Structure formats: structure tokens, C-alpha cells
Amino acid sequence: MQFKELEENIMNKVKIGVLGAYRGTSMINYCKHAGNAEVAAICDKCPETLEAQRANAEGLDIAFYDNFEDFIKHDMDAVVLANYANEHASFAIKAMKLGKHVFSEVLPVQTMKEAVELVEAAEETKMIYAYGENYCYMPAPYEMKKLYTKNKIGELEYAECEYIHNCESIWPSITYGEKEHWRNNMYSTFYCTHSLGPIIHATGLRPVSVIGFEGTKNERNLRVGAKGGMFGIEMVTLENGGIVKSIHGGLYENSIWYSMYGSKGRMECGREVPGSGHINTIYLDYNKFSGDYNHHESESYNPAHGMEDMAKGYGHGGSDFYTMWHFIEKIKGNPDADIIDVYEALDMFLPGMFAYRSILDGGKSQEIPNLRDKSIRGRWRNDTACTDPKAAGDMLLPVFSKGTPDIDDGVYEYMKKLWDEECQKEDGNYRAQAFKQGSKGYK
């Protein structure tokens, strides 16, 4: 890079504010190391987490806030929302209305009312909204997008996608013994975009209807205090008639896996087993055209984004680098920036929301609203149905289809005890260390 170009890049660094300083650490680290952005402000209501970020910010000009209202007034171009997964929408809307671009962690909204308001805020303000579904940018899923665009496997007919994460051993560190933590109160098909997202991003196809299935409750979720079903499944029909089976949740063995069948081939990543290459390796079987059975081609390789050196060490197979890189480059006007906009974010999430409505409706198929169409927004504008009492009003849904289970407070007290013990350990995880370093009294 020439000196002038380097100087311009430094001068034009995008100023970022980060809300939620636990998962937000990944985005803070991005800004510290990448050349195109800098952290201007960090906000977290938890004093220990904020204190730990302050300790890591020596020599940097970063302001610290413990509340969103003061934080959002800070001089910055964009905000990263890495707060609770069910509370992104209202902050995204406020930020865009105050002239800030938004990068939202998963999930985008928790109600249809929020979905309508989020879409309208993005349209009215014209600010950039980027949904941080990082799994789309993992090496093999991102290669699937490139190959699909090049018509390598033809038109999508069927896909399977899995995000299985058995979080039992880390549950104390990610819910801290809080009975009302969003992870304890999410329904089975809520956290759906790590699974379905990469298929939507690869194909650009809109989901039109869904049937949902709910995994049963068993000892594994009852003993950690999770009230929803063990896992969720969405059987999604896409606008071209293609069908996707998406599964996510806490089955015993972990799996991140994507497979797509097209009209002249199939591509998939490795299974989460030794020797397969997992999300770093793509397996491709295809013909030049449909029916060309004598010229079958089979390949497997480790695809490259082209920025591996910069992405090295970032979480989730380097994908945490790419989501931020594309967001910042989009703000800077780079035509190659590939973000997930507000409509696509909802194409990834609404199948999960409506799958739960299908479960509650005895397994009936549900139409998935397309909020690009202004004429249908009125129907959803006051729909607050969700499992969060703060947002639902009189449309509160049970967390489990057969009724929200009444879990004994002792379970949460035990989770809190395990969490406190983690905080005392010398080699406790990042969050535990943050709590240890910070001031006392966090509840």
C-alpha cells in the first residue's frame, strides 16, 4: 500500500461504538487490528465487564458508558449491537434514527411488530443495517455461495443445515444463574439463523412457508434451567419450490453442517468429525448439465476467501473477521462489500419465528411474511407475540408448546454457584476473568 493510501485509510477509519462487551470483544478486537475501523466507545451495564474492557484499552481513546442513552450520543459512525439476543431491534431503530449505521448480532427481532419497525427505520433513515450472521462467512458455506452463483450445481431443490451446540457444560457461564436470561427463555426454533442463514445467503432465495417441530424436554435442559424444547426443526419451502430442513439446538453431539442438492449436483461441507476438514472443506459432486451422467465430476478442497492472513485467529473459523470487514467496507462505499441487509436478516429469522407458531398450531404450515411488500405490514404492526414478557404484552407465548415448565429456583441457584466458582478459577473463561478483575457486587 502506498503511503498516501495508508494515510487516507487511517484518516478515514470508521468510528465504532460497541454495546455488549462480552461477545462484543470480538468486534472490539477487530477494530484494534484491522486498518479500516477504530473503537470510539464501549457500553455495558455490567460494571465488571466494562472494567475489564477499560483495562484492555490502555493507550486508546475509548469512552466507556454503562447505559445506551448516553452511549448513543457519543461521536461515532456506527454501532455494534452485541447485547441480549432478544433485545436488538429497539436499539437498532434508535441508533439508525440518530444517524448511526448498525451491525446487529443474532437475532434481528423478537416480534413481528419489531420486524415492521426495523424495516421501516432502515428504509426511512437509509442507514446501513448489517446482520452479523457470521456462519455465512465460514470458508465452506461462503464457497457454496460463490459456487451457487456460478450455477455449479444448478437450481436448489433440497438443502439440509445444522447448528447443534450442546451448551450444558458452559451454561453457568452464559446464563450466570439468571432465571430470566434470554437463553433460558427462548423457544426451540428461536435461535435459527446459524443453521438456515448460510443456505439463504448462498442461494438468495426467499422462504415462503414453514412447518415447525420441537425437540422434547429432557434432563439435559431441565437440569440447567432452560425452559424451551431441546432443539427445533424448520421445514422451509423456498420461493422456487426448494425445500430446506434446518435443525438447531442442544442435541448431545455438536454439528455445524450444510448440504445443498441442485438440479445438476450437490455440495456440502465436512461433518464435525476428525479428518473431514469440517467447515474448512467443501465436497462437490456435479455434472455439466442435468442428465449428463457420463461426465460426473467430483472435487473436494479447502476454499480460500483471499484474506486468510487477516482473518487468522478470529472466532468461528475466521468468520468473525469477515462480517465486520464487509460491514466497514460497505460504510466506506466498497462495491464488493457483501453484507446481510435487513430483509435478508428477516428471511433468515422469520422461518424460526413462524415455525414456533406452526408448532403451537398443531404442526400446520405457516406463510412467512415478506416485509419488502408494504401492503402487508399493517397486518403485523401490532403483533407482539413472543416469549419475553417485557415485549409480549397480552400476546405472551409459552416457552415450551405444552406450557412453560416451572423450574425450581434451586436449579438457578446451583448454576449461580457454578458460575461463581468459575469466576474464582485462575484459568476461568474471559467473562469469569472480567468479573474477577472488576468491582464487586454484580447481580
Ligand X SMILES: NC(=O)c1ccc[n+]([C@@H]2O[C@H](COP(=O)([O-])OP(=O)(O)OC[C@H]3O[C@@H](n4cnc5c(N)ncnc54)[C@H](O)[C@@H]3O)[C@@H](O)[C@H]2O)c1
CA distances from 325 to 25, 134, 218 (A): 15, 11, 41
Q: How far is the CB of 35 from ligand X (least distance, A)?
A: 23
Sole binder of ligand X in the list 14, 18, 22, 226 (CB under 6 A): 22
**Spatial distance between the Cα atoms of 440 and 240, rounded to a whole number of angstroms:** 56
* Binders in 119-158 for ligand X, by CB under 6 A: 132, 134
Secondary structure of residue 212 in the 3-state scheme: strand
- Work out whether 322 is an interface residue with ligand X (CB under 6 A): no
Nearest C-alpha neighbor of 264 from the set 396, 155, 338, 125: 155
> Would you state the cell numbers that stand for residue 208, as one nine-digit string?
415462503
> What is the smallest separation between the CB atom of 51 and ligand X, expressed in angstroms?
12
256 and 316 Cβ atoms separated by less than 8 Å: no
Among 13, 18, 20, 145, binds ligand X (CB under 6 A): 20
DSSP, residue by residue, 223-264: TTT--S-SEEEEEEEETTS-EEEEEEE--SS-EEEEEEEETT
**SS3 of residue 39 by DSSP:** strand
Task: Name which of 50, 413, 388, 391 is nearest 228 in CA terms.
Answer: 388
Q: Which helix (H) or strand (E) holds 392?
A: helix 389-392
Binding of residue 106 to ligand X (CB under 6 A): yes
> Which lies closer to ligand X via its Cβ, residue 57 or residue 243?
57
Q: Which part of the chain contacts ligand X (CB under 6 A), choosing from 42-50, 149-157, 400-408, 411-419?
A: 42-50
The residue among 382 and 429 lying less far from ligand X, judged by its C-beta, is 429
Residue 412 burial (10 A CB sphere; 0-12, 13-18, 19+): buried
Residues between 279 and 318 that touch ligand X (CB under 6 A): 316
Which is nearer to ligand X, 19 or 153 (by Cβ)?
19
For residue 45, the minimal CB distance to ligand X (Å) is 4
Asked if 436 is part of the footprint of ligand X (rule: CB under 6 A), the reply reads: no
Asked if 49 touches ligand X (CB under 6 A), the answer is yes
Give me the residues paired with residue 243 across strands.
Answer: 158, 237
Count of residues interacting with ligand X (CB under 6 A): 21
If the CB atoms of residues 316 and 357 are measured against ligand X, the closer one turns out to be 316
- SS3 state of residue 8: helix
Q: Please report the sign of the dihedral spanned by the C-alpha atoms of residue 315, residue 321, residue 323, residue 328.
A: positive
Site map (CB under 6 A) of ligand X, residues 166-205, x = contact: --------x-------------------------------
CB of 68 vs ligand X, minimal distance in Å: 5
Q: Which is nearer to ligand X, 165 or 271 (CB)?
A: 165
Site string (72-101) toward ligand X, x via CB under 6 A: ----------xxxx----------------
Strand 37-43 and strand 207-214: pairing?
Answer: unpaired
Query: If binding is defined by CB under 6 A, does position 46 make contact with ligand X?
Result: yes
Q: Minimum Å distance from CB 106 to ligand X?
A: 5
CB of 40 to ligand X, least distance (A): 16
Shortest Cβ 415–ligand X spacing (Å): 13
Phi, psi of 233 (to 5 degrees): -130, 135
Binding residues (CB under 6 A) for ligand X: these are 19-23, 43-46, 49, 68, 82-85, 105-106, 132, 134, 174, 316
